[in-house]
A = this chain, B = another copy of it.
Amino acid sequence: MASVDRTVIADLPLFAGLAPEQLDELLREAQSVRYPKGTTVFQQDAEAHSFFVLLHGHLRVYKLTPDGQQVVVRFVSAGEVFGVAMAIGRTTYPATAVAVVDSIALVWPSVAWPRLIAKHPTLAVNTLQTVGSRLQDAHARVVEMSTEQVERRIAHALLRLAQQSGRKVEAGVQIDFPISRQDVAEMTGTTLHTVSRVLSAWEDRGFVASGRQKITILEPHRLFVLAEGGLP
């Protein structure tokens, strides 16, 4: 297996404040693994044997309800830690992660975690920040679902996606991985039918351009106003 250069991870928030030698030391324990599109990286309720840093690609993380419905927890972009079940006191993964495009991740065995944070407490501090910001995202989502109706929730979801995974193209900002109406529906607690209707309406108004598994935001500001409850 090709060894990973430290410069690849040096700027990631997780490793902020660590010395080059410490990075090398951490990398020595990691494996770099390829996950072709469609592959499952880990499965909900399975033993949390590893934790990960995504080097390349995009993952879709979702929870499955007892009655078989899926809820998208988030999409993971390159540079993010994920699967840190052990760190938050779990022995199994709370969700399933699937590669939506060909992806590459660094993989550490979970059993190494206690030793790593004992040796590099900065890791725990950085992870705390990461988990904390995810907690805030989750709360923001709870607030949205409690108080906003569907159209505004969808607007918020798209803006968030654009912010973390947007790619600038001529016409606007495109979400740079394949995403279906069903995905957006599972992020916002609605149905693909409703998402389709809303996107069609926006397309007519020129806010977005969308196609099969593809969404481009043409008028981010208009969408923002709509998300905040204004009448654009």
Q: Which residues of A contact B (CB under 8 A)?
A: 63, 65-67, 69, 71, 73, 87-90, 94-95, 117-118, 121, 124-125, 127-129, 131-136, 138-139, 141-143, 145-147, 186, 188-189, 228-229
Chain B residues contacting A136 (CB-CB under 8 Å) are 88, 90, 94
| Inter-subunit contact A134/B133 (CB<8 Å) | no
Q: Are A139 and B94 also in contact (CB < 8 A) when A66-B229, A121-B124, A229-B67 are? A: yes
Report how far A66 CA is from B224 CA in the complex, Å: 14
Most buried by B among A94, A125, A186: A125
A-B contact pairs, 18 of them (CB 8 A): A63-B139, A69-B146, A71-B147, A73-B142, A87-B128, A88-B128, A88-B135, A89-B129, A89-B132, A90-B132, A94-B139, A117-B125, A118-B121, A124-B128, A135-B138, A142-B145, A145-B189, A147-B189
Q: Are A146 and B66 also in contact (CB < 8 A) when A128-B124, A129-B88, A135-B134 are? A: no
Query: Which of B66, B90, B132, B141 is the one whose CB lies under 8 Å from A88?
Result: B132
Q: Are A138 and B128 also in contact (CB < 8 A) when A147-B189, A229-B66 are? A: no
Query: Which of B73, B89, B145 is the one whose CB lies under 8 Å from A145?
Result: B145
- Nearest neighbor of A74 in chain B, beta-carbon distance: B139
Query: Which of B65, B87, B121, B147 is the one whose CB lies under 8 Å from A147?
Result: B65
- Nearest neighbor of A67 in chain B, beta-carbon distance: B229
